[in-house]
């Protein structure tokens, strides 16, 4: 080892980090990509020859180590609170009045920043070196994803100033261009595409292989600095401090001394947000004065000194080219609008659900119409209305087909619903959807049995019903296109492993109309076996709590059907769990049933957990999720803007808890959020 080698390594490391800073932070690259790659390769070669000189914060160490098997849980030094949301000027004016009435002096200025649609992340630096990166999680605890965060090149591994101990909070995001490239690759690999950049970002951060995370080209904007003994008094000063430490800060921000300036900033980006390389869903207002922030404090879930001012949904016009019909697992026919592709909220939209025949008739949607398209919550595209003034003269009212588009069987209108169904049990489209439902995560959880594989199994007549999955050998699976021996072995193992899923999951997986996971769990607890369910009378089924006439009739009729009887016998022969064992109560085995028998109502907007996931967790802990508050309600869990349900809970003196408290309950019960 020579001093020259040490100097060369240090010089190269500093040069590469400086170029990273110029490229990712300042957006002012000073060298060509080829020259950057040459410098990196030179450093790699030197470190390969002198491995004892490799430093943890070397640019070459952003992707290193073995894939992570799991992510440990970390408690945040201070809670990562959510923000209250607003969609109107009047809400912002009310927020401003509350702020000015609470602080003295009353004059307040705001730091307005863009609300990046990404994933919140906390970075811990000790002696200026990145030592830990933690997701927001439930606000109190998050996952340690340090190895993955190190792959994000806009996150410095070493700060620009020495001896700094601090916590930096910000947002990880993905640019639109990179998102499109990833989805293109996933399409070619017959993998499910991501719904939006935020969805892709969240999924990427939880990957167990940092090398794959690195390929996703995630980015980071910082917006908060927690530094002990800091003498900074303004949010704007904190942002400047972050920049001086080498951290990226969004340049699109504004110090607003009046609400008029706030509204001007909001309106400007509401009109131009589509031109940004990343997605935003609003702006964030923060009281600029840190002392005033402290005076205002926070609630259990949100700071009183900040507010998210969100944009209205995107709307665009486009042409309706065709209406395709999709067949669901129970035969329900769903019309789908095929559109002239149009950019909407950062993604290209070419399809949108029309829900049912009544919806088409109500909105008088016709082929060749110009329609107004909107993204609900900036995620799901929907047809808002027809632009009747642009309707061609030769259009006619849409006539819903009378036969199934797949099997040509006659379609039947459900008397009690808007649904139109194909009642042919051998319809190939229904079979595909039934297998997909059977293998889904909430049912039998068969990893690897995606739509592309299911399509081949049905089209090649290898599977006539879900019971045939358990007689598939590796040889048959290998006969499928693009399935190698290792993938076949993995899928075969997943199918066989699913036989251990508990009875309530098997019942749900059968796909009986109106039998969701909650109903399946209720039925499994009372009747304890499929045989008891088959022999139960209609009256016995209806007398079960929460089982109404429609559910009872569907279950009673289906379990008497010859094809279902044959399928159940096939599943029993294959070794699936069709009854509860003596030491099993339900699929929640291992977790305390802290909600056992309790009726829980969810109300308001939940920010930290999806409502469907919250519902699943309550059920796993023995509870029943109800839609309305009554004297039989045991607990009301509330999010933002809870409305009348929370008020009624107060009147009836029913226990309540906010989202943060609810997540704490789940965490203490041992659930992984």
Q: Give 554-592 pLDDT, tens digit per residue.
A: 999 999 999 999 999 999 999 999 998 654 444 444 455
Quote the pLDDT of residue 665: 80
474-493 exposure pattern, b = at least 16 Cβ within 10 A, e = fewer: eebbeebeebeeeebebbbe
Nearest to 152 by CA among 25, 13, 253, 12: 25
Q: What are 629's two structure tokens?
A: 């508050």
**Close Cβ partners of 439 (under 8 Å, ≥ 6 residues apart):** 445, 446, 449, 454, 469, 498
Peptide bond connecting 105 to the previous residue in cis, omega within 30 degrees of 0: yes
Q: What are 194's two structure tokens?
A: 């991501």
Q: Are 314 and 375 in contact (CB under 8 A)?
A: yes
CATH code of the domain occupying 85-310: 3.30.470.30
| Partners of residue 653 on adjacent β-strands | none
Global pTM reads 0.52
What CA–CA distance (Å, rounded) separates 55 from 71? 24
CATH topology of domain 599-668: Rossmann fold (3.40.50)
Domain 315-413: CATH superfamily is Nucleic acid-binding proteins (2.40.50.140)
Output the CA–CA distances (angstroms, integers) from residue 510 to 329, 330, 431, 555, in the order listed: 10, 11, 12, 11
Rounded to the nearest 5 degrees, what angle is found at the Cα of 660, between the Cα atoms of 130 and 144?
25
Nearest to 409 by CA among 395, 427, 394: 427
Q: Are 648 and 629 in contact (CB under 8 A)?
A: yes
**Parts of the chain with a pLDDT under 50:** 65-66, 377-378, 583-590
Q: Are 134 and 197 in contact (CB under 8 A)?
A: no
Residue 609 dihedral angles phi and psi, to the nearest 5°: -150, 140
The CATH class given to the 3-61 domain equals mainly alpha
Same fold, 428-500 and 503-574: yes
What CA–CA distance (Å, rounded) separates 209 from 145? 11
Quote the pLDDT of residue 346: 61
Q: Are 577 and 502 in contact (CB under 8 A)?
A: yes
H or E segment and range at residue 42: helix 33-49
Indicate the length of the chain as a whole number: 673
Quote the pLDDT of residue 589: 46
Output the CA–CA distances (angstroms, integers) from residue 562 to 20, 434, 558, 568, 569, in the order listed: 67, 17, 9, 10, 11
Reported as a single tens digit per residue, the pLDDT across 72-131 is 888 898 889 888 888 889 999 999 999 998 886 668 999 999 999 899 999 999 999 999
Of the CATH numbers 1.10.150.20, 3.40.190.10, 1.25.40.340, 1.10.287.3510, which one belongs to the domain with range 428-500? 1.10.150.20
Number of H helices, E strands in the chain: 24, 22
Strands 624-626 and 599-603: parallel
Quote the pLDDT of residue 307: 94
Question: What residues does each domain of the chain span?
Answer: 3-61, 85-310, 315-413, 428-500, 503-574, 599-668
Quote the pLDDT of residue 592: 54
Nearest-10 Cα torsion for 378, 379, 382, 387: 30
What CA–CA distance (Å, rounded) separates 375 from 382? 6
CB neighbours of residue 653 within 10 Å: 7
CATH code of the domain occupying 503-574: 1.10.150.20
DSSP state of 673: -
> What are the residue numbers of the active site?
115
CB neighbours of residue 250 within 10 Å: 18
């Amino acid at each position: 080892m020579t001093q020259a080698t040490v100097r060369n390594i240090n010089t190269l490391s500093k040069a590469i980090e400086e170029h990273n800073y110029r490229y990712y932070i300042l957006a002012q690259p000073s060298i060509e990509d080829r020259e950057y790659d040459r410098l990196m390769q030179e450093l790699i070669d030197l470190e390969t020859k002198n491995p004892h000189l490799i430093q943890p914060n070397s640019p070459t160490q952003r992707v290193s180590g073995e894939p992570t098997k799991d992510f440990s849980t970390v408690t945040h030094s201070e809670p990562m609170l959510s923000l209250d949301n607003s969609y109107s000027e009047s809400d912002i004016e009310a927020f401003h009045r509350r702020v000015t009435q609470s602080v003295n002096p009353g004059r307040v200025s705001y730091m307005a920043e863009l609300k990046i649609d990404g994933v919140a992340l906390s970075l811990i630096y000790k002696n200026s070196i990145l030592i830990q990166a933690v997701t927001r999680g439930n606000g109190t605890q998050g996952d340690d994803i340090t190895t993955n965060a190190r792959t994000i090149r806009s996150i410095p591994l070493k700060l620009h100033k020495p001896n700094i101990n601090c916590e930096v909070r910000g947002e990880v995001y993905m640019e639109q261009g990179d998102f499109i490239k990833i989805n293109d690759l996933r399409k070619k690999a017959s993998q499910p595409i991501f719904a939006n950049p935020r969805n892709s970002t969240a999924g990427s951060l939880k990957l167990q292989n940092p090398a794959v995370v690195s390929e996703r080209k995630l980015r980071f904007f910082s917006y908060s600095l927690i530094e002990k003994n800091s003498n900074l008094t303004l949010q704007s000063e904190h942002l400047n401090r972050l920049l001086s430490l080498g951290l990226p800060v969004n340049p699109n921000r504004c110090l607003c001394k009046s609400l008029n300036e706030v509204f001007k900033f909001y309106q400007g980006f509401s009109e131009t947000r589509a031109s940004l390389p990343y997605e935003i869903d609003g702006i964030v207002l923060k009281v600029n004065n840190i002392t005033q922030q402290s005076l205002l404090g926070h609630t259990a879930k949100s700071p009183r000194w900040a507010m998210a001012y969100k944009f209205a949904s995107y709307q665009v016009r486009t042409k309706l080219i065709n209406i395709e019909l999709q067949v669901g697992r129970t035969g329900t026919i769903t019309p789908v609008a095929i559109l002239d592709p149009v950019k909407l909220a950062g993604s290209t939209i070419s399809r949108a659900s029309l829900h049912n025949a009544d919806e088409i008739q109500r909105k008088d949607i016709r082929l060749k119409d110009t329609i107004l398209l909107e993204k609900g919550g900036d995620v799901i595209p929907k047809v808002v209305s027809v632009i009747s003034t642009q309707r061609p003269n030769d259009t006619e009212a849409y006539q819903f087909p009378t036969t199934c588009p797949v099997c040509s069987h006659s379609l039947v209108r459900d008397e009690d619903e808007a649904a139109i169904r194909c009642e042919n049990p051998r319809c190939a489209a229904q079979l595909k959807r039934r297998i997909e439902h059977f293998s889904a995560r909430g049912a039998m959880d068969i990893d690897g049995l995606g739509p592309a594989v299911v399509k081949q199994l049905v089209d090649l007549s290898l599977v006539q019903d879900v019971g045939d999955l358990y007689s598939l050998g590796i040889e048959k699976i290998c006969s499928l296109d693009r399935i190698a021996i290792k993938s076949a072995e993995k899928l075969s193992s997943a199918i066989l492993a699913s036989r251990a899923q508990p009875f309530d999951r098997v019942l749900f997986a059968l796909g009986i109309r109106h039998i969701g996971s909650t109903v399946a769990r209720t039925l499994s607890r009372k009747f304890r076996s499929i045989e008891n369910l088959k022999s139960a009378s209609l009256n016995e089924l209806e007398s079960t709590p929460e089982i109404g006439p429609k559910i009872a009739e569907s279950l009673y009729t289906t379990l008497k059907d010859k094809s279902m009887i044959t399928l159940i016998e096939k599943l029993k022969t294959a070794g699936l769990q069709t009854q509860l064992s003596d030491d099993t109560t339900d699929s929640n085995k291992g977790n305390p049933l802290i909600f056992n028998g309790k009726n829980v109502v969810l109300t308001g907007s939940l920010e930290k957990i999806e409502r469907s996931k919250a519902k699943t967790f309550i059920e796993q802990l023995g509870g029943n999720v109800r839609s309305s508050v009554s004297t039989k309600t045991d607990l009301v869990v509330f999010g933002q803007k809870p409305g009348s349900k929370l008020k009624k809970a107060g009147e009836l003196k029913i226990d309540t808890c906010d989202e943060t408290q609810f997540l704490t309950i789940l965490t203490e019960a041992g659930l992984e959020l």
